[in-house]
Amino acid sequence: MSLLAEVLAPSFLLHHAVYGSLAVGFVCPLVGVYIILRRMVFWGVALPQVSAAGIAAALMLQGLGYAWLSGGEAGERHLAIVGAVLFTGAAILALAWLERRGGSVGDGRLGALYAAAGAATILCVAWNAAGETEMMGLLKGEIVSISESDFHAMINAFAAIAAGLFLFQKELLLVSFDRDMAVTLGRSVVVWDALLYLMVGLTVSLGVMTVGPLVIFGLLVLPPMAALPWARSMGALSVLASLAGGLSALGGFLLSYSYDLPLGPVIVGAATAAWAASAALRALVDLRNGGRAAP
């Protein structure tokens, strides 16, 4: 496969886009597994939009001439990351705090947040003529241009998140599956929830920088959904979901590069196809096994 060799070569012009998409493709579903199992899908919708709003706000500030904020050309990319992380972090803190205080309108709050973040993104772009191309690129799934060292830091962050999820899988499973049990075993539910939220927040904000909010939402949800009917353990669920996401990203990139299509929708399309194929195959297998419904 010369095409594969071509795009994976370090000298490839778009190597940030390739490796960024692959990192996101493999790591996002690992976090997404918990989002699906904890039935937090609305978080997965709202948070990428909030990250996008953070990036748009950062680009707007810079476009309005607050160059002192960014400290020049290289720094402006730092600013986009800072915007994404700050907005996402603030949103998660506020949501977690409200959730602990109780109340039954959690989904409503997330819906409201999504709407507000979407509007804020568009307004920030409107007030900032210079940022429009960059932001449109982001919404199409193009990577925000960042320096080589920032790119490496980002890939390392994804690796750290994957390692954290692996190392603490027991704790994260325990507090997700049975919080009360976790407390009786002396585990701090707050600490482990905070760690999970931190990893969700980092994955989303770094991921949105890389491939835009649409792809992040898609990769948080679709690969775990594709893996769920086949997984017989948490480990299998994570591995299958990660593979489905990574392969969707790679396939999406190859398709988008070969046919000159926008990257984001093609990755999401590939992940959707994986999910549809998985669901259809599961239904077929169950039919043959005597009509037992998929779990």
Partner 1 sequence: MKPPLLRFRHASVGYGSSPVLTGVTLDVVEGNFVGVLGHNGSGKTTLLKTILGLIPNLKGEFAARGKAGGAPRFGYVPQKERLDPLYPLTGRDVAAMGTYRRLELFRRLRGLAREDHIAECLADCGAAALADKRFSDLSGGQKQRVLIARALAAEPEVLALDEPLSGIDVTTQRALIKLLKHLKEERGLTVLMVSHRVHVEKDLFTHVVWCDEGKAHSGETGEMLKGRLGEMFRGEM
Q: Does 228 bind partner 1 (CB under 8 A)?
A: yes
Backbone angles phi, psi at 93, to 5 degrees: -60, -45
Q: Contact at 8 Å (CB) between 22 and 250? A: yes
Q: Which of 100, 178, 276, 284 contacts partner 1 by CB under 8 A?
A: 178
- 58 to 97, contacts with partner 1 by CB under 8 A? none
Q: Does 36 bind partner 1 (CB under 8 A)?
A: yes
Q: Does 237 bind partner 1 (CB under 8 A)?
A: yes
* Structure-token pair, residue 51: 């990250």
Q: Contact at 8 Å (CB) between 43 and 172? A: no
Q: What is the DSSP string of 180-232?
A: HHHHHTT--HHHHHHHHHHHHHHHHHHHHHHHHHHHHHHHHHHHHHHHTTT-S
Q: Does 6 bind partner 1 (CB under 8 A)?
A: no
Q: With CB under 8 A as the contact rule, which of the stretches 51-59, 120-128, 140-148, 172-180 interacts with partner 1?
A: 172-180
Q: Does 295 bind partner 1 (CB under 8 A)?
A: yes
Q: Does 182 bind partner 1 (CB under 8 A)?
A: yes
CB of 208 to partner 1, least distance (A): 26
Q: Contact at 8 Å (CB) between 146 and 75? A: no
Q: Does 239 bind partner 1 (CB under 8 A)?
A: no
How far apart are alpha carbons 233 and 247 in whole angstroms? 21
Residue 13 or 185: the one with the smaller Cβ distance to partner 1 is: 185
Q: Does 160 bind partner 1 (CB under 8 A)?
A: no
Q: Does 255 bind partner 1 (CB under 8 A)?
A: no
Q: Which of 5, 10, 68, 232 contacts partner 1 by CB under 8 A?
A: 232
> 107-139 burial, b for 16+ CB within 10 Å, e for fewer?
eebbeebbeebbebbeebbeebeebeebbebbb
Residue 78 or 187: the one with the smaller Cβ distance to partner 1 is: 187
* Structure-token pair, residue 5: 């060799």
Residue 232 or 288: the one with the smaller Cβ distance to partner 1 is: 232
Q: Which of 86, 187, 262, 286 contacts partner 1 by CB under 8 A?
A: 187
Q: Does 289 bind partner 1 (CB under 8 A)?
A: no
Radius of gyration of the chain (CA): 19
AA letter at 197:
Y
Residue 265: partners with Cβ closer than 8 Å, 6 or more residues away:
140, 141, 214
Q: Does 233 bind partner 1 (CB under 8 A)?
A: yes
* Structure-token pair, residue 128: 């900032």
AA letter at 290:
G
Q: Contact at 8 Å (CB) between 230 and 240? A: yes
Q: Does 109 bind partner 1 (CB under 8 A)?
A: no
Q: Which of 82, 96, 173, 195 contacts partner 1 by CB under 8 A?
A: 173
Q: Does 2 bind partner 1 (CB under 8 A)?
A: no
Residues lying near partner 1 in the complex (CB under 8 A) are found at 36-37, 39, 170-171, 173-174, 176-178, 180-187, 228, 231-234, 236-237, 295
